[in-house]
Amino acid sequence: MRALLLGDGLLRTAGRSLARDRLAALTLTLTATMAVLLFQTLQHVPGGAAVVERLGVVRASLPLWESLLRTPLSLFVPAPDLPVWGAAVQVLLVFGLAELTIGRCATLAVAYAGTLAGTLYARHAVHAGARGADSLFSLPWSDALVRDTGPSAAVVALAVYIAWRYRAWLTGAAIVLAMVLEQALFPNLAGAEHLAAILCTLVLAGGGELVARRLVRTADAWRPLLSLR
């Protein structure tokens, strides 16, 4: 049961990384947490909200190129009407565990992929709703004006990726089920983006494993032939 909840070697890997590099092992995490706090402070000072809007606020009504330019920073812009400590704690805990276990580059890649997947899905679903496509995957046009920022999609993507990577199946299933239930009971733009981030992460994790296995098999097949030279 413990292995299904925490995965195979998750805590050992995190502990070794932290013992070896100390706070340097959490450089990305601490930077991301400080960025969340910085943007929260900035958007509540005179003139700061306009700066945050131009730098990191994404809406489905924006041109695609502008959304893509703002998406990396939008990850660190918390919702102004929600407690910032929630976003900061999410980033500190989940980004920290990811950085200690899968590395800094993979953490940043998965976090951005999850955020981008949510943003692109929102654009597609809103425009589908505007065309009158009343389906499970469409969203009302009013969502085009909803502010699409915050680290939650990245946090969900990282949590699911870590659970897959370390075979923490119960934890991963619980996260996915919680996101599905949230969207079913309280449908909103953020919930839909969380599901898009989860789907993107599962494709990345599963596809990455398939590619890695294929490469290993190919290398094993070529090894006897190369040894004859």
pLDDT, tens digit only, all 229 positions of the chain: 555 566 678 888 899 999 898 888 999 999 999 999 999 999 989 889 999 999 999 999 899 999 999 999 999 999 877 788 889 999 999 999 999 999 999 999 999 999 999 999 999 888 887 666 566 677 888 888 889 999 999 999 999 999 999 999 999 999 999 999 999 898 888 999 999 999 999 999 988 888 877 877 776 666 675 565 5
Residue 197 and residue 172: Cα distance in Å, rounded? 13
In the prediction, which pLDDT does 179 show?
95
Residue 56 and residue 71: Cα distance in Å, rounded? 7
In the prediction, which pLDDT does 216 show?
74
Indicate the SS3 state at residue 209.
helix
Residue 15 and residue 21: Cα distance in Å, rounded? 10
* Domains, the chain, with CATH or none: 2-227 (1.20.1540)
Contact 71, 133 (CB under 8 A): no
pTM here is: 0.90
DSSP one-letter string for 44-61? TSTTHHHHHHHHH---TT
Contact 74, 115 (CB under 8 A): yes
Residue 10 and residue 32: Cα distance in Å, rounded? 22
In the prediction, which pLDDT does 30 show?
96
